[in-house]
Amino acid sequence: MSDTLVYRIAFASLRGINAVMARELMARLGSEEEFFRASRSQLAAIMGFRNRLMEPDYRHKMVEDARREADFISANSINAVYYTDESYPDLLANCDDAPLMLYSLGDADLSPRYSIAVVGTRHATPYGLDFTDRLVKGLAERVNGEVTVLSGLAYGVDVAAHKAAMRYGLPTIGVLAHGLNTIYPAVHRAVAADMVRQGGALVTDYRSIDAVHKGNFLARNRIVAGMSHCLIVVESARKGGAMVTAKIASGYCRDVFALPGRISDTYSKGCNRLITLCVAKLVQDVDDIIEDMNWPLKEQRVNADAQQSLFPSLSPDQEAVARYLGEHGEAQLNRLSVELDIPVGRLMSALIELEFQGLVTAFPGGTYRKAVP
């Protein structure tokens, strides 16, 4: 256990200090340890005010608590990620109210290339649960890259999103409103263990000694929103944690989506309102999100036997063109003629037939591309 970690834990637990203020203090003091060794008058002079955190007894207690927390971290293979560490989530680092320290359990990348927060009511309906499953399945099947699914491990939409991610082989991160010494709700302990076991992670900014308060659950929503490239509200009443998270995400300039529903359905009223107020974009299926986020699609591979059965009448010229465009993506008419050694007149005939069959698309400038399925 290093003293540096102890003092960082203690410093991160101080109320009201964000990354901007922390950097200013470190520029003046040099290290977190010096903050706790400085006299009351030194701190007052540096910070420009006096309050409880300058009292020597209070700061001593913070350090002692931090030592116990460091022991807990070491004993339970927990990662303590400080705001100055390279491993700190890059998206979250740009948020003004990001915590100075995160505690994580598991191997999931905290700065994934693609990530989505899936949130919603704890009273999810079959409509919302079915959409959540289809959404995550679609992300796993269609995006050319691993999409990390984030949520809060709560009842309803949250746990459904985590379970779907594991079912379809995607990493999933649960952001907790308490320390890693417990899981709430307790019934989700097995799910949490599976998440870690399958390459996901549990993340929190609370220490094991921090009491669980109702306000923690709203406060942790900033981490759910901050760590994600985009966020979708699947179902929500007009008031609730998911609505708060959507507004936080919008404030962070994240793309926010919402699943619409019938105006008479209680748990669609929140989503409908987010869409009406232009806080969220209406989403009907996974393709809406993939297209809006400009995430790359997996190449739709069709084996040779399947191609032959679907298009049994391709001539040798047509087969040569289709194969070339399949390998190279696109080519101009003259290049095709030279590369395939097919006269332009005969080549034009083959290209026209391939267009009719939906295998090739013509673009201005005499460019041809393999048609997208």
pLDDT tens, position by position, 186-241: 999 999 999 999 999 999 999 999 988 888 999 999 999 999 999 999 999 999 99
The pLDDT tens digits for 123-144 are 999 999 999 999 999 999 999 9
Domain ranges for the chain: 3-75, 106-293, 304-370
Q: Model confidence over 75-110: pLDDT tens digits?
A: 999 999 999 999 999 999 999 999 999 999 999 999
**CATH 1.10.10.10 is right for the domain spanning 304-370:** yes
Q: What is the pLDDT of residue 1?
A: 59
Any alpha helices (H) in 177-285, and if so which ranges? Answer: 189-197, 214-219, 221-226, 241-251, 269-276
Q: Three-class SS of residue 43?
A: helix
- Note the pLDDT of residue 309: 43
Question: Residue 300: what pLDDT?
Answer: 60
pLDDT digits (tens, 9 = 90+) for 162-180: 999 999 999 999 999 999 9
Looking at 2.30.30, 1.10.150, 3.40.1130, 1.20.1740, the CATH number of the domain 3-75 comes to: 1.10.150
- Produce one character per residue of 23-44: b if its CB has 16 or more CB atoms within 10 Å, e if not: eebeeebeebbebbebeeeebe
Contact 94, 225 (CB under 8 A): no
Give per-residue pLDDT as tens, 275-310: 999 999 999 999 999 999 999 998 764 444 444 444
Mean pLDDT of 334-340: 88
Report phi then psi at 97, rounded to 5: -105, 25
Tokens of 78: 């927990």
Contact at 8 Å (CB) between 350 and 342?
A: yes
The predicted pLDDT at position 10 comes to 96
What is the C-alpha separation between 332 and 368, in angstroms, rounded?
Answer: 6
Element (H, E) at 367: strand 367-370
Q: Are 29 and 35 in contact (CB under 8 A)?
A: yes
User: Is the Cα torsion angle 244, 247, 252, 253 positive or negative in sign?
Assistant: positive
Write down the pTM of the prediction: 0.79
Instruction: Copy the structure tokens of residue 258.
Output: 């919402």
As a whole number, the mean pLDDT across the chain is 91
pLDDT at 7 over 80: yes
For residue 307, the model assigns a pLDDT of 47
Say whether 200 sits in a helix, a strand or coil.
Answer: coil
The CATH code of domain 106-293 reads 3.40.50.450
Side-chain half-sphere CA neighbours of 151 within 13 A? 31
pLDDT value for 306: 46
Dihedral pair phi/psi, residue 124, rounded to 5°: -60, 140
